Homo-oligomer: A and B are copies of this chain.
């Protein structure tokens, strides 16, 4: 069993309406010290030993991320 974590985040300059909305809502709750809040996706994968990090990168390119507007990073988790 291999475990991977994938972080998918908007590229710099890409508008993040969910993040902006959360920031405004927190501001209204009194948390006024936030300069920027960005929301991305966190994906946890449990796979057969045969699934390589290169294949997880392929999955990101094809389905898990939108490479036009998002970047992603794949990490294998030990243990």
- Judged by a CB distance under 8 angstroms, whether A45 is at the interface is yes
Q: Which residue of B lies closest to A1 (CB)?
A: B35
B35 and A59: CB pair below 8 A? no
Those of A30-70 within 8 Å (CB) of chain B = 31, 33-48, 50-51, 55, 58-59, 62-64
| Given A25-B63, A26-B63: A37 touches B33 (CB 8 Å cut-off) | no
Number of contact residues on A: which range applies? Answer: 20 to 34
Q: Is the CB of A45 within 8 A of B51?
A: no
Chain A residues within 8 Å of B, Cβ to Cβ: 1, 7-9, 19, 22, 25-26, 29, 31, 33-48, 50-51, 55, 58-59, 62-64
